[in-house]
Structure formats: C-alpha cells, structure tokens
C-alpha cells in the first residue's frame, strides 16, 4: 500500500522535543539542498560520472541519524544523504564527485560508492544488494550495530534474505532499511514480485514494519527497534529524479519535504524552520562554490 499516511501515529510529532524536530529538519535541508545544488553542477558537465541523487528520500537518513549515530553504515547508490547525515564532510563529498584525490573515497568511488571509515561508512561495490551480506559479516565480527540500506529492487537479490536469515539466527545487531520508491529504474514492484519485504522479514523471525516516509515515524521506529535487532523497516518513499542523472519523468506521488514543513508550521516552528532552510541554502551554495574554485 503506497500512501503518505501509511502507519502514521496520531500526534507523534508532539512527542518529540523542538530540538529533535529542528535537528531532523536541519539535516533534511542540508541533504536536500546539497542534492539540488549537485544537480545544477552536474548539468554544467563538470561532474563526469553517473550521479545518483537522493531527492525525495533525503529525510530518511536525517531521521535515523537523529535517533543514533551509533552505526556502521552500508548503503548503496543514493548515499550522499547518509554520508552527510552521519557526520560526513561536505567538502570531501564534493571533491569525491569532482573526481579528486581529496574526496572521501580519494576520488575513486564517485556518487555510487560513498566511503569514509572515519564516520563508519563503507562504499558499495556495484553489485546490487551485496552490501547486505557484507553488513551482516561486519555485525558478526564486530557485534556493533550496523545499518544497511537497500532499494526495493535490490531487496530481490537472493543473497539479501539468506544473509538476513543468518542475522536473525545469530541475533546480530543489523537494521535493514529499504527505501521503497516502488521502482526498479522504471519497473514497478507489482510487475516484479508478489511478496512483501515485511512478510519475508517476519517469516525469518525479525521485527519488521512497513511505513510511510514521515520523518517522525521513521525516527520513532528506528529508536524502538535499536534494542530488538535484527530488524527491517520498509519505508514507502518517492524518488524525485531519475534513477541516475538529474531528469524527471512526472510529479512524485507526494512531496515529503513540503509535508514536513507543513507539519512543522502546525507545531509553531515555521519561523525557526525558515531560518534553518535559509542558512542551509547559503552554506551549501558557498561550500560548492569554494570547492569548485579549488585547483
């Protein structure tokens, strides 16, 4: 069921402090405006590699990282927002996208493989979904909490659920987040499979929820599941740009960033949110310009 209201809990935003809500919003603004500026730069031809933007999904890592940063992170493409939300250096991310040795992965990973062990984030190899068995191996060896992120198509790779089944058997501290935008490039889930991610996870004995991409809802379930790992959160979200590149096909089913701002206004924080977004716009633009001017 795709709906911006899936799993919504009445009055949940009011259970968060103003500080928590504004922190989530600040991270969301950084992520979103970074991606918007990145798209503009990409369209000038300066960035020579394929680009994978998280526009429309940028609030997911913002919400999770507000609950805890205590994760080893194994993302896939669309990793820019995870890197920024979990403490990555925006300048190093820009340099990575500009193919520089000063980038977070020394210019060798690019947009599809954001890697920085300093924040506990490990780059993706390019094999769809293989970050899940690698993440499970990390959890087995370290016993540290691990966050692994997949798309709804990557979740269909055979080693994903065998790895998560092992995590369930060994009670490993793995949180799998599926950013479910209902698309494998352009093919909808209903065309590809009849089973659901949550049903599979529950069948393996894991805690699992299927929810909309409301930031407070994501943060609520992430916090609730931290001591119940392994667990799965399937998050229904909307991709705003192409799978790769900066183009658009049609208007997204909903715009969570706008819905987020509307809910913040209801909480009486409209002015604070506007100030945060204005500051973020200036920060992102200035940082991009500074890095572009570097030799």
Beta-carbon neighbour count of residue 101 at 10 Å? 10
**What is the per-residue pLDDT for 1?**
79
pLDDT at 123 (0 to 100)? 92
Q: Which residues on neighbouring strands pair with residue 236, listed in sequence order? A: 180, 212
Query: Taking the mean position of all CA atoms in its chain, how far away is CA 195?
Result: 23
- Residues paired with residue 211 on neighbouring β-strands, in sequence order: 235
pLDDT 10s digit of each residue in the chain, 295 long? Answer: 799 999 999 999 999 999 999 999 999 999 999 999 999 999 999 999 899 999 999 999 999 999 999 999 999 888 999 999 999 999 999 999 999 999 999 999 999 999 999 999 999 988 889 999 999 999 999 999 999 999 999 999 999 999 999 999 999 999 999 999 998 888 999 999 999 999 999 999 999 999 999 999 999 999 999 999 999 999 999 999 999 999 998 889 999 999 999 999 999 999 999 999 999 999 999 999 999 999 8
In the prediction, which pLDDT does 249 show?
81
What distance in Å separates the CA atoms of residue 248 and residue 265, rounded to the nearest whole number?
Answer: 28
* pLDDT tens digits, one per residue of 240-260: 999 999 999 888 999 999 999
In terms of phi and psi (left: phi > 0; alpha: psi -120 to 50; beta: otherwise), the region of 234 is beta
174-198 pLDDT, tens digit per residue, is 999 999 999 888 899 999 999 999 9
- DSSP per residue, 61-122: HHHHHHH----EEE--SS-HHHHHHTT--HHHHHHHHTT-TTSTTTTSS-TT---BGGGTEE
Q: How far apart are CA 195 and CA 226, in angstroms?
A: 26
Give me the helix-helix angle, 90-97 and 18-42, nearest 10°: 20
55 is written with which tokens?
Answer: 């526009």
Predicted local distance difference test score (pLDDT) of residue 6:
97
Q: So what's the pLDDT on residue 117?
A: 94
Give the number of other Cβ atoms within 10 Å of residue 226's Cβ. 16
Strand spans (E) along 136-275: 146-151, 174-180, 183-184, 187-188, 207-212, 231-236
List residues bridging with 289 in a β-sheet.
none
Q: Do 105 and 113 form a contact (C-beta atoms < 8 A)?
A: yes
How many Å apart are CA 226 and CA 144, to the nearest integer? 11
Domains of the chain by range and CATH?
12-293 (3.40.50.970)
pTM: 0.96
């Amino acid at each position: 069921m795709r709906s911006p209201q899936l799993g919504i809990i009445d009055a949940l935003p009011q259970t968060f402090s103003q500080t928590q809500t504004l922190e989530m919003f600040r991270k969301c603004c950084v992520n979103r405006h970074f991606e918007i500026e990145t798209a503009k730069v990409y369209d000038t031809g300066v960035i020579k590699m394929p680009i994978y933007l998280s526009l429309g999904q940028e609030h997911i890592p913002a919400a999770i990282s507000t609950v805890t940063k205590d994760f080893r992170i194994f993302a896939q493409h669309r990793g820019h927002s995870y890197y920024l939300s979990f403490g990555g250096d925006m300048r190093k991310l820009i340099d990575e996208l500009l193919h520089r040795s000063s980038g977070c992965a020394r210019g060798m990973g690019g947009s599809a493989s954001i890697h920085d062990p300093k924040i506990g984030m490990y780059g993706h190899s390019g094999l769809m979904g293989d970050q899940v068995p690698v993440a499970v191996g990390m959890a087995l060896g370290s016993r540290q909490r691990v966050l692994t992120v997949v798309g709804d198509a990557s979740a269909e790779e055979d080693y994903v659920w065998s790895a998560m089944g092992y995590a369930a058997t060994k009670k490993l501290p793995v949180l799998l987040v599926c950013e479910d935008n209902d698309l494998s490039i352009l093919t909808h889930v209903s065309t590809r499979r009849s089973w659901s991610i949550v049903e599979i996870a529950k069948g393996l004995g894991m805690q699992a929820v299927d929810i909309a991409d409301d930031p407070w809802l994501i943060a609520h379930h992430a916090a609730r599941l931290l001591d119940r790992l392994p667990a799965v959160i399937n998050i229904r979200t909307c991709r705003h740009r192409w799978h790769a590149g900066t183009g658009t096909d049609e208007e997204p089913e909903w715009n969570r960033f706008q819905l987020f701002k509307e809910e913040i206004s209801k909480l009486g924080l409209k002015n604070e949110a506007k100030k945060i977004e204005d500051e973020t716009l200036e920060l992102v633009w200035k940082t991009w310009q500074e890095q572009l001017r570097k030799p």
